[in-house]
Amino acid sequence: KAGVTQTPRYLIKTRGQQVTLSCSPISGHRSVSWYQQTPGQGLQFLFEYFSETQRNKGNFPGRFSGRQFSNSRSEMNVSTLELGDSALYLCASSMTSGSDNEQFFGPGTRLTVL
Amino acid sequence: LAKTTQPISMDSYEGQEVNITCSHNNIATNDYITWYQQFPSQGPRFIIQGYKTKVTNEVASLFIPADRKSSTLSLPRVSLSDTAVYYCLVGGANQAGTALIFGKGTTLSVSS
């Protein structure tokens, strides 16, 4: 069974630009969560989508948004990029929603903002 | 989600057993305890999950005392490849949706 895939793996953008990251969950998984990881703040929860609906949202500004499609694939968008948005963005999928469910993480997208 | 406290770092040698203890004094009745492992530039990987007493799988054991205010991840006979960051999380089925709250984790360094 294929794991969680994320594209692109690496991305370089400049301040003010916007970016869209993609995540394909494991087949059959309906929940997709996004996390930001930086050396200073560690792993931080961004949001979760389940059956095309946002179920949970972390403490991030409105520049961070996402969506989920009917095939459970998810995209995350960051508008008006700032230097501090440079991070590893991780996507995780699980069969259903709930923090007690095993989360399967993808390899991440490394975003660098110049 | 209940806050967790675990050691920032631990050192070990190959072949030794490593025990990492996590404190979660405010754990709720329906909360599960889950441990993840993360290697540099990779996403975390699920290791083990438990609710009470002891859970064992092919890679680790999880010991949870009766009061559930702490838990211990036990890695038997570690190898160099076990060098990673280990995160302890608590969260429950009663929580609406998924929102894993990661702490700083424990950086385990295994030497030969």
Q: What is the pLDDT of residues B9-39, one digit of tens each?
A: 999 999 999 999 999 998 888 889 999 999 9
Distance CA(B65)–CA(B15), nearest Å, equals 26
Give the count of beta carbons closer than 10 Å to the beta carbon of residue A14: 10
Closest Cα of chain A to B45: distance in Å? 7
Query: How confident is the model at residue A2, as a pLDDT?
Result: 83
Distance CA(A36)–CA(A111), nearest Å, equals 10
The shortest CB-CB distance from B100 to any of A103, A106, A110 is to A103
pLDDT (mean) for B63-69: 95
Cβ distance B46 to A102 less than 8 Å, yes or no, reads yes
Cα-based angle A36, A92, A87 (whole degrees, multiple of 5)? 20
Q: Which residues of B touch A58 (CB under 8 A)?
A: 99
For A105, which residue in chain B has the nearest alpha carbon? B43
Query: How confident is the model at residue B95, as a pLDDT?
Result: 60
Q: What is the pLDDT of residues A30-86, one digit of tens each?
A: 999 999 999 988 899 999 999 999 998 899 999 999 999 999 999 999 999 999 999
What domains lie within chain B, and their CATH numbers? 9-111 (2.60.40.10)
pLDDT (mean) for B47-71: 94
Q: Establish how many alpha carbons lie within 13 A of residue A47's alpha carbon, considering only the half-sphere containing its beta carbon.
A: 21
Can you tell me whether residue B38 is helix, strand or coil? strand
Query: How confident is the model at residue B3, as a pLDDT?
Result: 83
Cβ distance B105 to A42 less than 8 Å, yes or no, reads yes
Query: How confident is the model at residue A40, as a pLDDT?
Result: 87
The shortest CB-CB distance from B92 to any of A48, A99, A110 is to A99
Distance CA(A90)–CA(A87), nearest Å, equals 9
pLDDT confidence tier of residue B94, bands split at 50, 70 and 90: low
Distance CA(B97)–CA(B103), nearest Å, equals 19
Q: Which residues of A touch B45 (CB under 8 A)?
A: 105
pLDDT confidence tier of residue B93, bands split at 50, 70 and 90: low
